[in-house]
Amino acid sequence: MTDQHPFDADTAVTGSEPVFQATISDRWAVGETHANGGYVLSVCLRALERVLGKPDPLAVSAFFQRRVTPGPAEIRVDTGRSGRRLATGEARLLQDGQELVRVVASFADLSQASGPTLVSGSAPVLPPPQDCLDLFSGELPRESELVAPGITGRLDCRTPKLPGWRQGSPSGQARAEFWMRLAGGRQADTMALPGLVDMAPPAVFELGQYLSTTIELSVHVRARPAPGWLACRVSTNYLIDGYHEEDFEIWDSTGRLVAQSRQLALLG
C-alpha cells in the first residue's frame, strides 16, 4: 500500500452530512502563521464532493473572512439544488466555533460536457520545463522532491528566467508565465485546480508588495487536465487603495484551458 500524496492526505475530511471534520496541515502554510487559501478551499471542496454526487467542481466562489491556522477544523455543508447537470452546495469552515471561510460551488460531470466552443486566447509559450529555472531555488532543478517547509515545498514551479522580485528588483509589471505542478508526482485533476490558482506567488510581488490577503476568489474549471505540467499565466492590472484583482489561467500539457480565476485581494 502506497502512502497518500500530501494533497490528498491533507484535504481529507471525515464525518457525514451536514458536519465534517478536517485537520488543517502546516505543510501548506504561508510563513509560519496561517494556511494558504487555495489549500483551505480544497478542503472545503472535499466536503462538498462527498455530498453533491458529481465529480468536478465547475464554478466556485470562496469568501475568506479570517485566516485559517493549522489544527482542527469543522466544515458545515448545506446542499442546495441538485439537478441533472449541476449540483450546488455551500460549505462553511469553522475553527473554535468561528466561521473563517464560506464557499459556494456548483459541481458537474465534465466528461459529459459538449456543445459549441470558442477559445480566443492561447496557452503561454514556454521553454520545456527541464530547461527552466526552479522559481524557489533559482537553479536548474534536479529530479527530486521539494523539501522546503510550507507551501513552497508542495509546489514545483519553473520559469524561463527569474522574475525581478526573486532578484531583489521588482519589475513593476505585475504579470508572469510559468510551469507549475504539485510536487511529489501527483497529477492535477479538477479537485486540485481550484486550489492551484491560489498557490503560486502573487503577481503583485513584481510591484514590490509581498503581503497579499485574498478576500474573494472565483474559479471556473473548464476541463479535466491531461497528465503533465500546467502552463500558467497570472496578472494584476488594477491596484486601487490597496485592493487589487488577480487573474489566473491554467492550461494543460495539450494546450487546453482547464481553469481560470479572478480574486480580489488586499495588500498587507
Q: Tell me the per-residue pLDDT of 67-81, one tens digit each, with 9 for 90 and over.
A: 999 999 999 999 988
Q: Is residue 50 part of a domain?
A: yes
Beta bridge partners, 35, equal 29
Question: pLDDT at residue 59 above 90?
Answer: yes
Q: What is the pLDDT of residue 143?
A: 52
Task: Identify whether residues 154 and 209 lie together within a single domain.
Answer: yes
Q: How confident is the model over 136-172, as pLDDT tens digits?
A: 888 876 554 545 668 999 999 999 999 999 999 999 9
Residues 135 and 228 in one domain: yes
Please report the pLDDT score of residue 32 as a whole number.
Answer: 75
Percent pLDDT > 90 in the chain is 89
Cα 89 to Cα 47: distance, rounded to the nearest angstrom: 10
Cell (9 digits) for 237:
492590472
- For residue 117, being part of any structural domain is answered with no
Which residue, of 86, 110, 134, is where some domain finishes?
110
Residue carrying C-alpha cell 453533491:
52
* Residue 218 pLDDT greater than 50, yes or no: yes
Mean pLDDT across 92-96: 98
Domain holding 70, by residue range, is 1-110
